[in-house]
């Protein structure tokens, strides 16, 4: 059985590896072998680093994120991407939360998120989904956020957008619609759950067949729904995640499960120990997974960063 | 309710998208012609997934004039998600056998590459589907195409309104790209074979999970644009256990006991459709792809190995694709 000391060693190894993978521009690439900085891994790594290591590395990371912002207030998926924006905008505004110099950039990001919606927010698409295209069971009245512009809402981008918008200090000065979008997004998540509990990308039932949930999608949805734990859909999701987490052998899903279960006040000590014991954790090629493992082992701080606790 | 011009345009697009299951293309929209003068295809009978697949596949590959010496070989299996049984993903033993064969044939490097369309946790899919263990044992590198470096790539056809896609470096730099589909029906595209399998090269980090933008741009159209742009050099289709009905995830397994090899994806998908008892001439991306990607006419395909035997009962499909079943035109 690993000890707290072991966890501390693992944390320090992971931190060293993340530090090593930081690119000269201050960001991180999705894979260890790549040199193309991407926003998602950069956000997780920045969160993991920001209170743990010397400020110069964290400052470079923040600088990279600030310089990557598109003119329209959004963030691209990776450096060099098109400028119309992507779902990672929600992650970027959360990551920059404690940086006073980032306030204007964050406000622009929030504005963009407020105007970014799934296609089914348009009444004609609602009509299409009600009449001609009914193979996927969902209520098109309840929309959230898509991965990229001009597509429909999905569970993960909606969950991250909800987490980000909940960090808005108030709903005044241009953000009057925020409570409405948050409420609608929550309804959308509740509507898109799998019938047996939990969430996948967002298709609960297709052609009358219930689809299986995924642990990571479920965990991310549960993080966005911490204020709605009385809902039976949330309870079912928690039950599914608790059940599946016990046997998870993939660090990405296990790390998300730890964060979500902790956010819902479940004991995650055994799961953390299992994560810390995984062989060659720091050799994982996917940098986001590496950073998430670190965040899951330091869950209290991570949940604060995500605005969940 | 006021109808704005934007609403009207959006609504027209919605109606068009709903009616696109098998609409023909009246004008060619491709800028390349990759059709070989002749194509070669082999059907191999294989009862089950076992260590013998290695020998069977190696013998099958010898029926082709393949030269991968000093080439970077990229194997693209169909690795969607994990559920018990053998009907969803290309079986790892077959992928392993292919990798070993290409290594023995002198390839400079062999990597297995995929970007699962439903699961963000690629590692979970790899471990639960059995891939992880085999790949590690044989020291075969896996590249997660959902997270690979991306290159802005102009499309070589314009069936969708997309001018370009961001595509993974690993795929674009491959000297020899092998599509290894699972032979399955698909509730949005009718079938998912070697051409539809190429959806997996479209990166999730850029386009999301599932790769929904391709659905909005038209599935058949997207298949054509991708296959025009990313040439498939060889096909090894897993039809030992196939899938019918509500594929690609929730269909029923069906034993075909076949592996299909071809140096032309159109020839491969045409023949796979016949093996399923479906009419390839009614599958939009195969019919249209025959104009510029490969051959569908039997007179242009040199068939070795077993001959095509139509099944007594065609594969079950969802109601929208019922028109594909029960043909006799081969």
Q: What is the mean pLDDT of residues B294-322?
A: 93
| Structure tokens that stand for A155 in this block | 């569970």
Interface of A with B in 111-170 (CB under 8 A): 119, 122-125, 127-128, 132-133, 135, 146-148, 150-152, 154, 156-157
Quick: pLDDT tens for B241-261.
Answer: 999 999 998 899 999 999 999
Contact B246 A154 (CB under 8 A): no
Residues of B with CB under 8 A from a CB of A: 1, 7, 10-11, 14-15, 17-18, 81, 83, 118-124, 127, 144, 147-150, 152, 166, 187, 205-210, 212-213, 216, 246, 249-250, 318
Task: Identify the pLDDT of residue B283.
Answer: 96
- Chain A residues within an 8 Å CB radius of B149: 29, 31, 34-36
Nearest by CB: B212 against A122, A151, A251: A151
What pLDDT, in 10s, does the model give residues B137-165? 999 999 999 999 999 999 999 999 999 99
Residue A6: the pLDDT is 60
pLDDT for B24 equals: 61
User: Please, are residues B306 and B46 in contact by the beta-carbon 8 Å criterion?
Assistant: no
pTM to 2 decimals? 0.92
CATH tag for A4-305 (out of 1.20.120.420, 3.30.870.10, 3.40.50.740, 1.50.10.20): 1.50.10.20
Where exactly are the structural domains of chain B? 30-324
Q: Looking at residue A118, what DSSP letter applies? A: -
Of A147, A253, A286, the CB nearest to B208: A147
C-alpha triplet B298, B301, B306: angle, nearest 5°: 90
Which pLDDT score is estimated for B330? Answer: 41
Looking at the complex, report in whole angstroms how far the Cα of residue A130 sits from the nearest Cα belonging to chain B: 12
Which chain B residues have a beta carbon less than 8 Å from that of A81?
150, 166, 206
pLDDT tier at B227, thresholds 50, 70, 90: very high
Q: Is the pLDDT of residue B21 over 80?
A: no
* CB atoms B206 and A81 under 8 Å: yes
Is some CB atom of chain B closer than 8 A to the CB atom of A31? yes
Residues of B in contact with A286 (CB under 8 A): 122-123, 144, 147
CB contact under 8 A, A212 and B81: yes
CA–CA dist A139, A188 (Å, integer): 8
- Mean pLDDT for each 10-residue chunk of chain A (309 residues)? 63 92 98 97 94 78 97 97 96 94 96 91 77 76 92 96 91 83 96 95 84 96 96 97 95 98 96 93 94 94 87
For residue A108, the SS3 value is helix
Query: Of B187, B207, B216, which is closest to A206 when you measure between CB atoms?
Result: B187
Q: For A157, which residue in chain B has the nearest alpha carbon? A: B208
Given this model, what pLDDT does residue B19 score?
45
What is the rounded (10 degree) CA torsion for A181, A185, A186, A191? 140
Distance of residue A155 Cα from the nearest chain B Cα, in angstroms: 10
Residue B13 scores a pLDDT above 50 = no
Listed in sequence order, the DSSP H helices in chain A are 4-21, 39-50, 55-68, 88-95, 103-115, 123-131, 155-165, 178-191, 215-224, 232-245, 251-263, 269-277, 287-297, 299-305
Assign B7 a pLDDT band (cuts: 50, 70, 90).
very low
Residue A31 is given by DSSP the state B
Fold of B30-324: Rossmann fold (3.40.50)
Quick one: what percent of chain B has pLDDT higher than 70? Answer: 91
Count of CB atoms within 10 A of residue B106's CB? 11
Give A-chain residues touching B7 at CB under 8 angstroms: 122-124
Q: What is the mean pLDDT of chain B?
A: 91
pLDDT score for A150: 87
Shortest CB distance from A151 goes to which of B7, B150, B208? B208
pLDDT of residue A1: 43
Strand, helix or coil at B209? coil
- Tell me if A156 and B210 make a contact (CB, 8 A cut-off): no
- Contact between A93 and A113 under an 8 Å Cβ cutoff? The reply is yes
């Amino acid at each position: 059985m690993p000890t707290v000391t072991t966890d501390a060693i693992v944390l320090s190894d992971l931190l060293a590896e993340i530090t090593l993978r930081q690119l000269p521009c201050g960001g991180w690439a999705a894979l260890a072998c790549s040199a193309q900085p991407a926003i998602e891994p950069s956000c997780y790594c920045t969160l993991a680093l920001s209170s743990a290591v010397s400020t110069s590395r964290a400052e470079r990371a923040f600088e990279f994120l600030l310089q990557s912002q598109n003119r329209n207030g959004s963030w691209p998926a990776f450096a060099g991407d098109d400028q119309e924006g992507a779902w990672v905008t929600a992650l970027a505004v959360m990551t920059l939360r404690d940086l006073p110099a980032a306030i204007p950039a964050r406000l622009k990001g929030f504005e963009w998120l407020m105007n970014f919606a799934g296609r089914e927010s348009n009444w004609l698409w609602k009509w299409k989904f009600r009449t001609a295209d009914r193979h996927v069971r969902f209520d098109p009245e309840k929309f959230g956020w898509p991965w990229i512009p001009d597509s429909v809402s999905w569970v993960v981008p909606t969950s991250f957008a909800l987490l980000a918008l909940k960090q808005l200090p108030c709903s005044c000065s241009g953000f009057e619609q925020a409570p409405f979008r948050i409420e609608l997004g929550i309804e959308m998540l509740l509507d898109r759950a799998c019938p047996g509990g939990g969430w996948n990308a967002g298709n609960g039932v297709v052609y009358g067949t219930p689809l299986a949930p995924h642990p990571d999608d479920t965990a991310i949805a549960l993080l966005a729904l911490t204020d709605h734990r009385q809902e039976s859909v949330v309870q079912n999701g928690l039950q599914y995640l608790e059940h599946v987490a016990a046997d998870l052998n993939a660090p990405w899903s296990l790390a998300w499960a730890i964060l979500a279960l902790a956010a819902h006040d479940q004991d995650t000590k055994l799961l953390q120990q299992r994560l810390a014991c995984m062989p060659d954790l720091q050799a994982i090629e996917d940098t986001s997974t590496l950073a998430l493992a670190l965040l899951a082992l330091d869950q209290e701080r991570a949940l604060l960063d995500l605005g969940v606790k | 309710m006021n109808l704005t011009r934007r609403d009207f345009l959006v609504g027209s697009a919605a109606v068009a998208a709903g009616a696109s299951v098998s609409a023909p293309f009246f004008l060619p929209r491709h800028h390349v012609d990759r059709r070989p003068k002749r194509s070669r295809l082999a059907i191999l009978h294989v009862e089950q997934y076992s260590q013998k697949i290695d020998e069977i596949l190696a013998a099958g590959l010898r029926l082709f004039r393949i030269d991968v010496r000093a080439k970077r070989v990229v194997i693209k299996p169909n690795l969607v998600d994990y559920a018990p049984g053998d009907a969803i993903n290309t079986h790892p033993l077959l992928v392993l056998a292919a990798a070993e064969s290409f290594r023995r044939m002198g390839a400079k490097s062999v990597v297995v590459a995929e970007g699962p369309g439903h699961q963000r946790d690629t590692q979970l899919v790899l471990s639960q589907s059995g891939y992880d263990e085999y790949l590690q044992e044989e020291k075969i590198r896996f590249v997660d195409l959902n997270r690979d470096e991306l290159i802005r790539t102009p499309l070589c056809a314009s069936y969708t309104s997309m001018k370009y896609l961001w595509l993974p470096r690993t795929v674009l730099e491959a000297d020899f790209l092998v599509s290894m589909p699972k032979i399955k029906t698909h509730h949005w595209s009718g079938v998912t074979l070697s051409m539809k399998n190429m959806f997996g090269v479209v990166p999730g980090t850029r386009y999301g999970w599932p790769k929904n933008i391709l659905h909005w741009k038209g599935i058949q159209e997207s298949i054509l644009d991708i296959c025009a742009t990313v040439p498939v050099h060889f096909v090894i289709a897993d039809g030992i256990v196939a899938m019918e009905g509500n594929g690609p995830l929730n269909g029923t397994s069906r034993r075909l006991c076949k592996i299909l090899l071809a140096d032309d994806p159109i020839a491969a998908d045409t023949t796979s459709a016949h093996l399923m008892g479906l009419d390839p001439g009614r599958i939009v991306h195969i019919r249209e792809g025959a104009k510029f990607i490969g051959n569908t006419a039997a007179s242009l395909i040199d068939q070795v190995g077993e001959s095509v035997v139509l099944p007594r009962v065609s594969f079950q499909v969802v109601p929208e694709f019922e028109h594909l079943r029960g043909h006799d035109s081969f």
